[in-house]
Structure 1
Amino acid sequence: MSNRLTALSERIARLRMRRDRLAELSGLDESTISRAFGGKTDPLSSTLDKIEAAVSVEEAEMAEHLRKVGTSSTSGAAA
């Protein structure tokens, strides 16, 4: 597994991102994603770009969610 694919795999694991969500955001088939992470193929750079973009979107959404949760719990404590 390439360094880039390993790093993406770690980011996906930290997010607990499901393959169907990754497929939805990347525009790739779940089978393509499975082959890429299953070591059955050496994924194209364009495929990794799509996966990376999808993971970045998920990370941004998670950060925004955590920011909102942190803000609402902080404002609730001050009231």
Structure 2
Amino acid sequence: MAWNMEVDAEKPKRLRQEKVLSQRELARLSGLTQATVWRLENGFHRVHPKTIRKLAKALEVEPLELVKKEE
């Protein structure tokens, strides 16, 4: 597994908005910083798999749902 994986920025943002959560609330729920959530939603997509797992757990989805698919 790669040390850094690429997140599809639209997915966590859409899921967060569907749950009516602010970036700050998602950060608190996931144990990440608000800055990390902001970066993921704004084009800084390469993150450690552990970060993806934390975000997925908070959003109640499988981690692979957040990973950008290779085309």
Q: After TM superposition, where is structure 1 displaced by more than 4 Å over at least 4 residues in a row? A: none
1:8-53 deviations in Å (ceiling 9; x for gaps): 3221111121111111111111111111111124122221111111
Structure number with bigger Rg: 1
Q: Any gaps of 5 or more consecutive residues in structure 2?
A: 1-5, 61-71
Q: Secondary structure at the match of 2:16?
A: helix
Higher RCO, 1 or 2 (CA under 8 Å, sep at least 6)?
2
Structure 1 equivalent of residue 57 of structure 2: 53
Q: Any gaps of 5 or more consecutive residues in structure 1?
A: 57-79
Match of 2:35 among 24, 31, 35: 31
| Two-structure CA RMSD over aligned residues (Å) | 1.9
Identity of aligned residues (%): 22
CA distance in 1, matches of 2:38, 2:17: 14
Question: What TM-score, normalized by structure 2, do the two folds share?
Answer: 0.61
Instruction: State yes or no: 1:8 paired with 2:25.
Output: no
Q: What count of residue pairs does the alignment treat as equivalent?
A: 55
Match of 2:48 among 37, 44, 51: 44
